């Protein structure tokens, strides 16, 4: 199975079932006669921009964020206002803590906004590490984040 078909199959799976673990996705592929590794599924999840959202059973499941016509900056502002917990900064790095299930979305939105100060982001379920470009003063970006948090 090539990458395009595998990713299409993955999208169909998460649209029809609440799947919260990569191991369950690997098992699904095995039931249809395809062998994939957890690492491959992890890369596919990242490339497709899938995020984990809360489900009705107190856990989380993978979800494809809806693309809409709101500007990314406004989406980032709203998401931060709803999920922000704290931030810490040091030498070109800002660690944001957000509500569980929002880390990947916040990181993706940072990338989409394309702040000129940002080199890149790393995230997990509830944390985002914002890496700044060389020479950028950390307080410059923390001030921008504070402005986004103002209602």
Are residues 30 and 77 located together in one domain of the fold? no
What digits encode the pLDDT tens for the residues 47-97? 787 777 767 777 788 887 665 434 788 889 999 999 999 999 999 999 999
For the chain, the three-class secondary structure string (H helix, E strand, C coil) is CCHHHHHHHHHHHHHHCCCCCHHHHHHHHHHCCCCCCHHHHHHHHHHHCCEEEECCCCCEEEECCCCCCCCHHHHHHHHHHHHEEEEEEECCEEEEEECCCCHHHHHHHHHHHCCCCEEEEEECCCEEEEEECCCCCHHHHHHHHHHHHCC
Q: Tell whether 84 and 131 lie within a shared domain.
A: yes
User: Are residues 104 and 77 part of one domain?
Assistant: yes
Asked whether the predicted pLDDT for residue 8 surpasses 90, the reply is yes
CATH of the domain at 106: 3.30.1360.40
Q: How confident is the model at residue 103 (pLDDT cuts 50, 70, 90)?
A: very high
Q: Check whether residue 58 and residue 79 sit in a common domain.
A: no
CATH code (residue 43): 1.10.10.10
* pTM assigned to the model: 0.55
Please give the radius of gyration of the chain, using alpha carbons only, rounded to the nearest integer.
Answer: 17
pLDDT digits (tens, 9 = 90+) for 30-57: 999 999 999 999 888 877 877 777 677 7
Which domain does 88 fall in, by range?
72-149
Do 33 and 84 sit in the same domain of this protein?
Answer: no
Do 79 and 21 share a structural domain? no
- Taking the alpha carbons at both ends of the chain, their separation in whole angstroms is 48
Q: Is the sign of the CA dihedral 72, 78, 79, 80 positive or negative?
A: positive
pLDDT tens by residue, 16-34: 998 989 999 999 999 999 9
According to the model, what pLDDT value does residue 66 have? 61
**Same domain membership, residue 145 and residue 76:** yes
Of the chain, the percentage scoring pLDDT greater than 90 comes to 62
């Amino acid at each position: 199975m090539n990458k395009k078909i595998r990713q299409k199959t993955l999208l169909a799976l998460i649209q029809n079932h609440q799947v919260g673990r990569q191991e369950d996705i690997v098992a699904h592929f095995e039931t249809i006669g395809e062998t994939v590794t957890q690492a491959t599924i992890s890369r596919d999840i990242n490339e497709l921009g899938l995020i984990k959202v809360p489900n009705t059973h107190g856990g989380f499941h993978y979800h494809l964020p809806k693309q809409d016509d709101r500007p990314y900056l406004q989406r980032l502002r709203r998401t931060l206002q709803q999920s922000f917990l704290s931030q810490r900064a040091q030498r070109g790095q800002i660690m944001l803590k957000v509500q569980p299930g929002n880390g990947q979305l916040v990181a993706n939105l940072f990338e989409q906004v394309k702040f000129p100060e940002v080199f890149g982001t790393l995230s997990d379920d509830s944390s985002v590490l914002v890496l700044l470009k060389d020479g950028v003063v950390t307080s410059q970006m923390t001030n921008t984040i504070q402005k986004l948090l103002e209602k």
